[in-house]
Amino acid sequence: MDKGWMHLTNRFSTTYVEGVNQFISIARDHADKLGRIRCPCVKCKNGYYRIINVVEDHLFIKGIDKNYTQWIFHGEDEIWNESQVNENDGLENVDDIEEMLDDIYMGTFMDTNIGESSTSQDLALPELGNKNFEHLWEDSQRQLYPGCVKFSKLAFIVRLLHLKTINNWSNKSFDMLIDLLRQALPDGETLPKSYYEAKQLRRGLGFKYDKIDACKNDCVLFWKEHASSQECPICKEPRWIDNEKKDKKIPHKVLRHFPLKPRLQRLFMSKKTAEDMRWHREKRVQDLNNLRHPADSVVWKEFDKSHQWFAQESRNVRLGLATYGFNPFGNMSTSHSVWPVILMPYNLPPWKCMKDPYFMMTLLIPGPRAPRNEIDVYLRPLIDELKQLWEEGVDTFDALVSQTFRLHVALLWTINDFPAYANLSG
């Protein structure tokens, strides 16, 4: 079977289209009960099951993984060819974690082209302290086991944690897998002993959030001027739930706030993502007749005319905000409504800006009922952060050019249905 079409750069040529149709016709016979197959595009690389029509779209938009020459997940028998095996096989799949940490180190600790009034300490992200970074760097240099050339300790743990997340493994199953792998690997392996030990890596990577107590009637947050209050200044309800164990205070409601600044800074700590954050200015095709990206919209263009100082810097981030309630328990007989507040960065190309890896959950508003018009109480930490990012900005290291710039942020619009729109607009 001729698979030369897989290497064509023009994904809309007749040969490529015929090749995709041939692949889909073979794969269709091996779909699961839900009509899904593994997606072999360059992004998914057979790691995700998707509806056949979605897979077909991915093959045209993103292209097929050129290394997937034996379609073993889609009906072909695997052919073992010893001449293709050599000591470097599989190295192209090793994560580029060392390069990523290099970029982070430059942006977090080095004084690179910043003004005289700034220092490298001014730019250091609070999540990535020197101690945590040193541990990450050591793990990225440590072999998984003596003689292993495919994975470092850090790369393998990251891959395991990713698999646990996308496959919904329980903590117990993860611990059992870790135990089995430690027995199977040669002496000297560097795997963690449990999921608890492995997840400590998340703290080193800067994944954290703030807990802010809230009034049970959604009147105020016990934050800033009310941080030390023991009761609501409006309705006089106590801050804490009556608890027999007086040594442990339990608040009625807790807002989870995921700080926005370090996540925006992190977008520029990877050379690849930093390049994509300029896409709307440097690579987008200017076309007055078609709407392919939010940058083609009237709102975006009018905003640029009104705020030329903001538009001059292509790396300044444009955001959209979406929020809506959901029942986290998956039980319609249980009345509960939790509201996530999510931001999307529109600097990215259209095939990335609306993908979940770039969604930023900034707030998780607690239930059990919808906040309604009191949602502004819970939005306050985010609004304060957005105001500061608009007016003052934040020093951010750009790994692509190894320079620091002042990043500003604008919230262009919200995305919601009419009831949520009414709440958000007050």
Q: Is the pLDDT at 168 greater than 90, yes or no?
A: no
Name the range with the highest mean pLDDT among 25-29, 83-87, 97-101, 361-365: 361-365
Q: Is the pTM of this model over 0.75?
A: no
High-pLDDT (> 70) share of the chain, %: 82
pLDDT at 246 (0 to 100) = 65
Residues linked to residue 317 through DSSP beta bridges, in sequence order: 409
pLDDT at 33 (0 to 100) = 75
Domain assignments of the chain as residue spans, ordered by start: 4-84, 95-204, 210-257, 269-424
150 pLDDT band (50/70/90 cuts)? confident
Q: How far is CA 54 from CA 39, 107, 213, in A?
A: 8, 37, 42
10 Å Cβ neighbour count for 107? 27
The predicted model gives 279-294 an average pLDDT of 88
What pLDDT digit, counting tens, does each position of 254-271 carry?
999 999 998 898 889 888
Segment among 54-63, 108-117, 179-188 with least mean pLDDT: 108-117
Mean pLDDT of the chain: 82
Q: What angle do CA 64, 66, 67 make, to 5 degrees?
A: 125
Q: Is the pLDDT at 414 greater than 80, yes or no?
A: yes
pLDDT at 325 (0 to 100) = 84
pLDDT at 175 (0 to 100) = 92
113 pLDDT band (50/70/90 cuts)? very low
- The residue ranking higher by pLDDT, 193 or 91, is 193
- Secondary structure of residue 413 in the 3-state scheme: strand
- The residue ranking higher by pLDDT, 86 or 153, is 153
390 pLDDT band (50/70/90 cuts)? very high
pLDDT at 81 (0 to 100) = 47
Lay out the sheet containing 253-257: strands in order across. 210-214, 253-257, 360-365, 339-345, 317-323, 409-415
pLDDT at 206 (0 to 100) = 60
129 pLDDT band (50/70/90 cuts)? very low
Of the candidates 270, 215, 276, 244, the one whose C-alpha atom is nearest the C-alpha of residue 396 is 270
- The residue ranking higher by pLDDT, 147 or 378, is 378
Of the candidates 339, 342, 335, the one whose C-alpha atom is nearest the C-alpha of residue 320 is 342
